[in-house]
A and B are shown apart, each in its own frame.
Chain A
Amino acid sequence: MLTIQPGLMIYTLITFGVLLYVLKRYAFGPLQKIIDERRNAIETSIKAAEETRHEADRLLSEYRQSITDAKNEAEEILDRARKVGDDQKAEIVGEAKAHAHKEVESAREQIQRETRKAVQEIKDQVADLTILAAGKVAGKVITKEDHLRLVDEAMAEVDFDQLGAGGK
């Protein structure tokens, strides 16, 4: 059991030396290579996943931005349309008012014109009647010049403005 045998030691050294070489060359090397390959594969996958995530984040923020932009634009368009609508409304109303005013003015002018015409007609008729009546009453013929003078005097006493106002 405790006998020292150099031959055994030599066998041990040779056996272990060969085993060490074989294991290093054919077992540990390939296995380490596989482990390294796996680590690389995992690293690549993680990197790819991270890149994809970044890309997704970027796209998401891009989409968010474009949605916000679209919303803003839509609001702007709405605002503009509203403003245009308001402007048009104001213009139409203004035009309508102006038109109405013009109509009213022209109506008023026409009325005044008609009134003046009517007054002139009345004046003429009154003059004629007065001449007739005065002639009958006075029994004398008054010259045309006298008549006109008398009529004018009488007319001056009549307030035609009030008549005009009443015919409005």
Chain B
Amino acid sequence: MSAQLNPADEFTDALKPVDIGGHHLEFHLGPVDMSINKVVLYLFIGAALTALICIGISKAARVLPNRKQTAFEGLYEYVRDVLVGAVMPGGAAAAWFPYIASLFLFILISNIIGLVPLPFNLAPGFHNIPEFKTYAATANINVTIALAGITFVATHASGMRANGIVGYFKGWMPSTAPPVLKQVLFFLHGISEVFRLVSLSVRLFANLAAGHLVLLVFYAMILMIQSYAIAVLILPLEAGVLMVSAFEIFVALIQAYIFAILSAVYIGGAIHQEH
């Protein structure tokens, strides 16, 4: 706890290798920094929690479902029929459903974890009381680029497999366009494909990072006003934190949904090209 809390520092701090049980988890693989930092830990937590929840529910699944199972099956069937089934042809939908569903659940749970304050660092000089902080793996551009990269590769790989390499790239040029325009359109389509990767990754990262920044700014303002006398005055700030937090739950859900459905739309579009 310090009056010098800088919201932006929270993001750079997250990239520093963490110490667990006295071990400084800093690794290097050639020139690549493979240290376990806060982002990696959050990734692991998100993945583990997603796996635990899903496996737990499906292990407990019975032919006659209880309430929890009905709710989870509702989500499952929603992803299968609406997110994937509606934008992909039948066979492709079955093949790509696990990917889209995993993407949706992983991003959703990572986003939600980002709203729960977790103790990772011990507060410096404060009687070894853990310092609870919020962070989201999906608020890091590297994570979202990697996830968007999978969709990017999946899109073009499945497009080429379904239409053939030549057929797939021919599909980038509308067959009705004049020959002169075809090259231009091909070039433009190539750019749009790259920007899909950028927009997909930046959208998720920026939304999550912005939400956390806003929350951190509120926290920082609460900490900066270190006076009991104006405790009453900081009530609106606390209300602000509450409101932004509530809004962030909505953002967490909507961003996971957008990322998943856009992935499905891109892959579906590449398989079933419009000429």
Give the B-binding residues of A (Cβ under 8 A).
1-13, 15-16, 18-20, 22-24, 26-28, 30-31, 34-35, 37-38, 41
Contacts and interface: CB of A to CB of B under 8 A. Distances in A.
A31 B61 CA distance: 7
A36 to B, nearest CB: 10
Secondary structure of the B side of the interface?
helix
Contacts of B64: 38
B76 to A, nearest CB: 6
Interface residues of B, number: 52
B146 A22 contact: no
A18 B98 CA distance: 12
B106 A19 contact: yes
Contacts, number: 122
A20 B143 CA distance: 16
A28 B34 CA distance: 31
Contact of B105 (A9, A23, A35, A41): A23
Contact of B32 (A7, A22, A30): A7
B146 A5 contact: no
Interface string B99-124: 10111011000000000000000000
Given A10-B146, A22-B51, A26-B54, 11 more contacts: A1-B209, A7-B29, A16-B47, A19-B50, A20-B98, A26-B55, A31-B57, A31-B61, A31-B73, A31-B76, A38-B65
Contacts of A16: 47, 102-103, 106, 146-147, 150
Contact of B33 (A2, A7, A20, A31): A7
